[in-house]
Amino acid sequence: MNEALLNALTVFVLAILCGFAVISKVPATLHTPLMSGANSIHGIVLVGAMFIAVEATTPVSQLLSLIAVAFATMNVVGGYVVTDRMLQMFRKKPTTPPAPKSDASES
């Protein structure tokens, strides 16, 4: 094994341990937002997709990298927006009780 690989492996294993430590503390109620949030983080693959895209010279490579960039961006943008939408619901609501003016009461 060369040194670059050893370094990369070290980072990989430490990051896994870090992930275990961070995530095991999250309460069950936040699991869906957490899964969605983690889902957006692996959208970092966009960085990799950009690397291959700017080096793409053959048509095959260009097609592959176009799909890769589009997929990865969808993962990033969609993931963060949908997570934020979920988490919006967890913010503290104003203390005033909601007025019973919903459409349900009119029926």
Partner 1 sequence: MDFQTLDSIVRLIWLAAAGLFVLGLMRMNSPATARNGNLMSAAGMTVAIIATAVLLLARPAGESGTSGFNTIGWVIVLVGIALGGGLGLYAARTVKMTAMPQLVSLFNAVGGGAAALIAIDDYLKLTTVPVAQVNVATVLDIVIGSITFTGSLIASGKLMGRIPGKPILIPGGRLVTVALAAVVVIGAVYLWAGNVSVPVMGLILLASLIFGVTMTLPIGGADMPVVISLLNSFTGTAVAMAGFVLNNVVLIIAGALVGASGAILTKLMADAMNRSVLNIMIGGFGGGDAAAGPVGAEGGSVREIGVDDAAIQLAYAQHVIVVPGYGLAVAQAQHAVRELAELLEARGVDVKYAIHPVAGRMPGHMNVLLAEANVPYPQLKEMDDINPEFERADVALVIGANDVTNPAARRAGTPVSGMPILDVDHAKSIVVIKRSMGKGYAGIDNELYTNPKTGMLFADAKDGLASLVSAVKAL
Q: Which of residues 2-31 bind partner 1 (CB under 8 A)?
A: 2, 4-5, 8, 11-13, 15-20, 22-31
Q: Are 34 and 87 in contact (CB under 8 A)?
A: no
49 half-sphere exposure, CB direction, 13 A CA radius: 19
> Is residue 96 within the footprint of partner 1 (CB under 8 A)?
no
> Is residue 89 within the footprint of partner 1 (CB under 8 A)?
yes
The number of residues that bind partner 1 (CB under 8 A) is: 90
| Residue 57 Cβ vs partner 1, minimum distance, rounded to whole Å | 7
Q: In whole angstroms, what is the distance from residue 45 CA to residue 72 CA?
A: 6
> Is residue 101 within the footprint of partner 1 (CB under 8 A)?
no
The conformational region for residue 87 under phi > 0 = left, psi -120 to 50 = alpha, else beta, is: alpha
> Is residue 57 within the footprint of partner 1 (CB under 8 A)?
yes
